[in-house]
Structure 1
Amino acid sequence: MFRMRSPAAWRWFLGFLLLGLQLSQYADASGVIHYPRRGDGDEFRATYALAQLQLALDKAGSPLCLEPSHFSMEQERALVNLARNQRLDVVWSMTSIEREQRLLAVRIPLDKGLFGWRIALLPSNRAQLLKDVRTRDDLRQFSAGQGHDWPDSLILRSNDLPVTTSSSYGSLFRMLSAQRFDYFPRSVIEIWDELEHPRGKLLVADTHVLLHYPTAMYFFFSRKRPDLAETVRQGMEIALADGSFERLFQQHFAASLRRADLNQRQIIELHNPLLPDATPLQRPELWFTPTVQRP
Structure 2
Amino acid sequence: MHTFKTSVLSVVASTLVVTMGLVCARPAIAQSTTISPAPAGNESTIEIKLADLNDDNPLINYRKAVIELAMRASGKSYTLTGCQITEASTSDRRFVQLIQAGQYCNLMATSAGGELTRGLETIPFPIYLGGGGIRVLLAHRKSLEAATTLRSLNDLRKFRIGSGSGWVDTSIMQANGLTVVQSSYMNLFEMLKAQRFDFYNRSVFEAVGELENYDPQHQLAVVPDLILYYPSDLFFYTTPGRDDIRDALLDGLRKIQRNGALAELIQNHRSTRNARVALKSGKLRVLALTNERLTPIEREALETYKLDWFR
Alignment deviations for residues 256-290 of structure 1 (CA, whole Å, 9 cap, x no partner): 12224565222211111102222355776721234
Query: Which among 197, 200, 205 is matched to residue 184 of structure 1?
Result: 200
CA distance in 2, matches of 1:78, 1:199: 28
Deviation per CA, 1:36-71: give whole Å up to 9, x if none: 2279x9833312111111222222232312223243
Name 1:171's counterpart in structure 2. 187
Shift of 1:100: 5.6
Instruction: Read off the aligned partner of 2:135 and give its amino acid letter.
Output: R
For structure 1, which segment, 66-75 or 49-58, has the greater mean C-alpha deviation from structure 2 after superposition? 66-75
1:50 matched to 2:69: no
1:212-291 residue pairs with structure 2 within 5 A? 212-252=229-269, 253-261=272-280, 263-279=282-298, 281=300, 286-291=305-310
Within 5 Å, which residues of 2 pair with 1:86-235?
Answer: 86-96=103-113, 98-99=115-116, 101-167=118-184, 169-199=185-215, 201-235=218-252
TM-fit CA distance, 1:76: 2.9
Higher-Rg structure is 1
- Aligned-pair CA distance for 1:166: 2.1
* Alignment match, 1:71: 86
Between stretches 214-223 and 99-108, larger displacement belongs to: 99-108
TM-score, normalised by the number of residues in structure 2: 0.74
Distance 1:197 1:291 in 2: 27
The count of aligned residue pairs is 262
TM-score when scaled to structure 1?
A: 0.78
- Specify the alignment match of 2:24 in structure 1: none
Distance 1:113 1:99, change over 3 A: farther
Is residue 50–residue 108 contact of structure 2 (8 Å, CA) maintained in 1?
yes
Cα deviation, residue 220, structure 1: 0.6
**Higher RCO (C-alpha under 8 Å, 6+ residues apart):** 2
d(CA) in 2 for partners of 1:42 and 1:163? 32
Which consecutive residues of structure 2, in runs of 5 or more, have no partner in the other structure? 1-43
Map of 1:9-88 to 2, 5 A cutoff?
Answer: 32-37=47-52, 43-60=57-74, 61-71=76-86, 73-88=90-105
CA contact (8 A) 1:119 1:185 kept: yes
Query: Match of 2:27?
Result: none
Q: What's the CA shift for 1:133?
A: 1.1
User: Which structure has the highest helix share of the two?
Assistant: 1
Q: Which moved more, 1:245-254 or 1:56-65?
A: 56-65
Tell me if structure 2 keeps the 8 A contact 1:103–1:222: yes
Offset, 1:99: 5.0
Deviation at 1:118, TM superposition (A): 1.1
Return the offset for 1:124. 2.7
Could you list the runs of 5+ residues in structure 1 that have no partner in the other structure? 1-28
Task: Among all aligned residue pairs of Structure 1 and Structure 2, give the percentage whose two residues are the same amino acid.
Answer: 24
Q: 1:263 to 1:289 in 2, by over 3 A?
A: farther
SS in structure 1 at match of 2:145: coil
The CA distance in 2 between the partners of 1:208 and 1:174, in whole Å, is 24
**Is the Cα contact below 8 Å between 2:161 and 2:181 reproduced in 1?**
yes
Q: How far apart in 1 are the matches of 2:283 and 2:100?
A: 42
1:153 deviation in Å?
0.6
**What is the alpha-carbon distance in structure 2 between the residues aligned to residue 214 and residue 31 of structure 1?**
31
- Secondary structure of 1:128 counterpart: helix
Alpha carbons of 1:86 and 1:141: their partners in 2 closer, same or farther (altered >3 Å)?
farther
CA RMSD of aligned residues (A): 2.8
